[in-house]
Chains A and B, each alone.
Chain A
Amino acid sequence: MQLAKVIGDVVVTRKDENLTGVTLLVLQPIAADGGSVGRTLVAVDAVGAGVGEIVFFVRGKEASFPFYPTEVPADAGIVGIVDHWDLG
């Protein structure tokens, strides 16, 4: 998983039917210091995250697991909203 900031959402009218009702959010991955790192991406949301929140997301087919048995065609999914993180 990786930390990211939710920076937007995506509206897609014509889509795979298994994406119906699934929220798509734009993520900017962040490093441990909170700075942006890497490319932005679109992820499905399994926890009710909103723009401006810090979240963590999973990559790969596991992104669709929260929607089981619907086989959501996703390769990235938000699975938690971060309260805070601490560096040792």
Chain B
Amino acid sequence: MQLARVIGTVVASQKHPKFEGAKLLLVQPTTVDDQPRGVPLLAVDSVGAGVHEKVLIVIEGRAAGEALGRKGAPVDAAVIGIVDQVDVTE
């Protein structure tokens, strides 16, 4: 899993049926000290996250499909939690 920041939302009327009703978020992966890392991704939202929130994402197909609750969904990333706090001691 990775930390990320929600930076936007995406609207797509024409999409694979397994995406019906799913919310699509643009998320920017971040380091633990909140610096952007890599390119933004699209993730399906399973927790009701909003723009600017710090979230936990999975970037793997099976986990993302489970988060969406739909078998055989062509997804590879999902928001699975809203982060309250990250403590790194070392």
Complex: chain B residue closest to A80, CB-CB: B15
Distance to closest chain A CB from B17 (angstroms): 9
How many of chain B's residues touch chain A, expressed as a range?
Answer: 20 to 34
Whether the Cβ atoms of A81 and B14 lie closer than 8 Å is yes
Contact (Cβ within 8 A) B8 A65: no
> Across the interface, do A29 and B39 meet the contact criterion of CB distance under 8 Å?
yes
- Chain A, interface SS category: mixed
A residues within 8 A CB of B39?
2, 29, 31, 37-38
CA distance A66 to B18 in the complex (A): 9
Does A62 contact B41, Cβ atoms closer than 8 Å?
Answer: no
User: What distance in Å separates the Cβ of B1 from its nearest Cβ neighbour in chain A?
Assistant: 16
**Residues B61 and A61 in contact, CB atoms below 8 Å apart:** yes
Residue total for A at the interface (Cβ-Cβ under 8 A): 32
A22 adjacent to chain B (CB < 8 Å): no
A38: nearest chain-B partner, CB-CB: B39
Closest partner residue, chain A, to B10 (CB atom): A85
With known contacts A47-B15, A60-B61, A87–B7 Cβ distance under 8 A: yes
A1-B42, A32-B7, A60-B61 known; A83 vs B13 contact (CB < 8 Å) = yes
Establish whether residues A1 and B8, one from each chain, have CB atoms under 8 Å apart when the complex forms: no
- CB contact list, A50-70 vs B, under 8 A: 56, 58-63, 65-66, 68
> What is the CB-to-nearest-CB distance from A4 to chain B, in angstroms, rounded to a whole number?
10
Cβ contact within 8 Å between A68 and B72: yes
Q: Report the 8 A-B pairs with minimum CB-CB distance, sorted nearest first.
A: A88-B51, A80-B15, A1-B42, A80-B12, A62-B61, A87-B8, A65-B74, A81-B14
Binding site for B on A (CB under 8 A): 1-3, 29, 31-32, 37-38, 46-48, 56, 58-63, 65-66, 68, 77, 79-88
